[in-house]
Amino acid sequence: MSAASGAAPNWVPRKRRGAEFFLTVLAVLIGIGAYCAVGLGVEGKIPGGAVKLGAALIVLAVVTHLVIRRIAPYADPVLLPLVIALNGLGLAMIYRIDLARGARDPDWEPLANAQLMWTAIGIVAFTAVLIVVRDHRRLQSMTYTFGFVAIGLLILPLLPGIGRTVNGSRIWIGLGPMSFQPGEIAKICLAIFFAGYLVVKRDALALAGRRVMGIDLPRGRDLGPILAGWLVSLGILVFQRDLGSSLLFFGLFVVLLYIATERPGWLVVGGGLFLVGAYFGYLTFGHVQVRVNAWLDPFGDPDTNGQIINGLYGLAHGGLLGRGLGLGNPDLTPYSYSDFIVTSLGEELGLAGLMAILVIYGLIVERGLRIALVCRDAFGKLLAAGLAVSIAIQVFVVVGGVTRLIPLTGLTTPFLSYGGSSILANWAIIGLLLRISDQTRRPAPAVSTFDRDEPTQVVKAI
């Protein structure tokens, strides 16, 4: 840590809550506007649910805004509006898929209402995080608790009885009619655990080492933690058949190791282990080979790769400006409301809209990393950086996958995809980031010292 960031800032950050309010109004308008546009596009009229959805969005936005004003007044003012805009767009697109699928299939169960409910629950979680975690440094004392909770959550889907296999991946648990992906919550717990663990161990991991070709490589005996992280990720790949989460957890761990130790050597070791794991996965698992082949040559086997091909068709059909909300055929793509929601948005909002969405994600990550930069304590720095990087990796993996930049792996698109656990977890992440931000930007409490000695001065100093 540099000396400058350790010292209390000598400037008082502005709260900018008014700016946040203005941006939030814009974000809510985007959501409501998109919802109305869907209705106009599909049915030629503003949908009946528009008032309900509009009211719900406004209430949720106002509530979150007031919560921040009250209990995190110095928090970053840009994050919340960005997230609300994404959440609103996601709701509108899920409603749009509902309309298309419902028209073809009378048994289709609408998803938009459930997503709206989960958004509300997510905002409750967001508020709860802000209220319960008054100081993020408290979390550090529970490092290992979060580590065990994370492991427990990851193992849950493997337990007989409550674990469920959906599309070949065993990452769901079912409780009655509800299903849930504990991995999403585990992501946050792991980030806290990694941050807490590395803050303590970073000196040992950072100091000893050997220099090979200009890169400091760690000692063999210090490889333990990274090997453990690697094995856990491989375990997820082997037992849960979930490529995406495996990649996300390992990437998060390696990045945090690097940030904590400031040694690029860890990236080399991590990259090497990733290549070994990926090669092993490719050789061992049929589904990994299918994904890689679909990436290299999707049109070689159109029957198997229908999903990615349809996603690409959707994007191409959208072109520069898109078909317009409600006017394309995003429902032709399987999972157009979850994993492939980005191609649905690309089809109807076009390249212009999709680039805007990617830039929103980029801004969220940038604000997250900025929080990490400004943060004064090592744990907060690591945690904020870890959360921001996890969002970046997740967006890269899922958007890159559906747009054929990299092989397709299943992950949810934060705030857009249909799915309760994902919405809940990502709102909680934003809650944590805002908490760290508020903690960091809040002016240090006034400390009374002997600075009022002027009246007793005999000779004026200057």
Partner 1 sequence: MNKPIRMMAIACLVMFTALLVNVNYVQFVSADSLNAKNGNKRVINEQFSRDRGPILVAGEPIVESVQSDDQYKFQRKYNDPELYSSITGYFSYLYGRSGIEYSQNSVLSGSDNRLFVNRVVDLLANKQPKGGSVELTIDPIAQKTAASGLKSLGKNAKGAVVALDPSTGAILAMANQPTYDPNLLASHDFGKVAEAWDSLTTDKDQPMLNRSTQQILPPGSTFKLVTAAAALEDLNLDPADKVKAGRSLSFPGIDYKLTNENNSSCGGETITFERALNVSCNVSFGTLAGKIGQEKLAEKAAAFGFGTDPLDGLAASASRFTSEGTDLEAPQLAQSGIGQYEVATTPLQMAMVTAGIANDGDVMTPYIVKTVRSPNLKVLDQADPTRLSQAMSGGDAAKLKKMMVSTVTEGTATSAQISGVDVGGKTGTAQSTPDRPPYAWFVSFAPANNPKVAVAVIVESTNVGRDEISGGRLAGPIARSVMEAILNK
Calculate the dihedral angle through the C-alpha atoms of 275, 277, 279, 284, rounding to the nearest 10 degrees: -170
Which residue type sits at 394?
A: Q
Binding region for partner 1 (CB under 8 A) out of 24-32, 74-82, 356-364, 446-454: 356-364
Q: Is 332 in the site for partner 1 (CB under 8 A)?
A: yes
Q: Report in angstroms how near the CB of residue 371 gets to partner 1 at its nearest.
A: 10
Using an 8 Å Cβ cutoff, are 180 and 153 in contact? no
Separation of alpha carbons 281 and 407, rounded Å:
13
Binding region for partner 1 (CB under 8 A) out of 50-58, 69-77, 80-88, 342-350: 342-350
Q: Which is nearer to partner 1, 90 or 368 (CB)?
A: 368
Q: Which is nearer to partner 1, 111 or 375 (CB)?
A: 375
Q: Which is nearer to partner 1, 214 or 455 (CB)?
A: 214
What track of x and - describes contact with partner 1 for positions 369 through 408 (by CB under 8 A)?
A: x--xx----x--xx--x--xx--xx-xx--xx--xxx---
Which of 3, 159, 175, 320 touches partner 1 (CB under 8 A)? Answer: 320
Handedness of CA 202, 208, 211, 212 (dihedral sign): negative
Name the E strands within 168-257: 169-175, 178-180, 210-212, 215-217
Q: Is 312 in the site for partner 1 (CB under 8 A)?
A: yes
Please name the residue that has the structure tokens 């029957």: 303
Q: Which is nearer to partner 1, 318 or 419 (CB)?
A: 318
The residues pairing with 173 across neighbouring beta strands, listed in sequence order, are: 163, 180
Separation of alpha carbons 245 and 397, rounded Å:
10
The residues pairing with 179 across neighbouring beta strands, listed in sequence order, are: 174
Binding region for partner 1 (CB under 8 A) out of 161-169, 223-231, 283-291, 363-371: 363-371
Q: Report in angstroms how near the CB of residue 17 gets to partner 1 at its nearest.
A: 26
Q: Report in angstroms how near the CB of residue 232 gets to partner 1 at its nearest.
A: 22
Of 383, 381, 415, 382, the C-alpha closest to 398 is: 415
Separation of alpha carbons 298 and 312, rounded Å:
10
Which residue type sits at 84?
A: I
Give CA 278 to chain center in angstroms. Answer: 23
Query: Which residues of this chain interact with partner 1, rule CB under 8 A?
Result: 1-2, 5, 255, 258-260, 262, 264, 299, 302, 312-320, 328-329, 332, 346-347, 350-351, 354-355, 358-359, 361-362, 365-366, 369, 372-373, 378, 381-382, 385, 388-389, 392-393, 395-396, 399-400, 403-405
